[in-house]
Amino acid sequence: DTAVSQTPKYLVTQMGNDKSIKCEQNLGHDTMYWYKQDSKKFLKIMFSYNNKELIINETVPNRFSPKSPDKAHLNLHINSLELGDSAVYFCASRRTLAGQETQYFGPGTRLLVL
């Protein structure tokens, strides 16, 4: 009964490849996020979707494209992978309701670009 799940957990790939990371939540939340944790463990928001609509798009290269097929899923597709994309990517979700501001995080996807 995992709340927020991500696949794959580990991803090793070559520069220039295209890859996708999937996220699913079974909490009934309507807002989902992607955060990036760099090699210094700094966490920063990348994207946020509410009811399948993009509401945050931080300064992220357009090689990164999120897609939300439904409220329970938010996938991240990355084109033309670069060395600097190596990081841990966390998916999170929350209910968009006053008093429900807590975000619940997935286990992370560790991406290594060679």
Partner 1 sequence: AQSVTQPDIHITVSEGASLELRCNYSYGATPYLFWYVQSPGQGLQLLLKYFSGDTLVQGIKGFEAEFKRSQSSFNLRKPSVHWSDAAEYFCALLNQAGTALIFGKGTTLSVSS
**Residues lying near partner 1 in the complex (CB under 8 A):** 33, 35, 40-45, 48, 55-56, 90, 92, 99, 101-108
Contact 74, 61 (CB under 8 A): no
Which is nearer to partner 1, 45 or 72 (by Cβ)? Answer: 45
Which is nearer to partner 1, 70 or 101 (by Cβ)? Answer: 101
User: What's the CA gap between 52 and 76, in Å, rounded?
Assistant: 13
CB of 42 to partner 1, least distance (A): 6
CB of 16 to partner 1, least distance (A): 27
Which is nearer to partner 1, 17 or 26 (by Cβ)? Answer: 26
Which is nearer to partner 1, 75 or 103 (by Cβ)? Answer: 103
CB of 43 to partner 1, least distance (A): 4
CA-based angle 72:75:78, to the nearest 5?
170
Residue 67: both structure tokens together: 């897609």
User: What's the CA gap between 55 and 43, in Å, rounded?
Assistant: 19
Contact 47, 79 (CB under 8 A): no
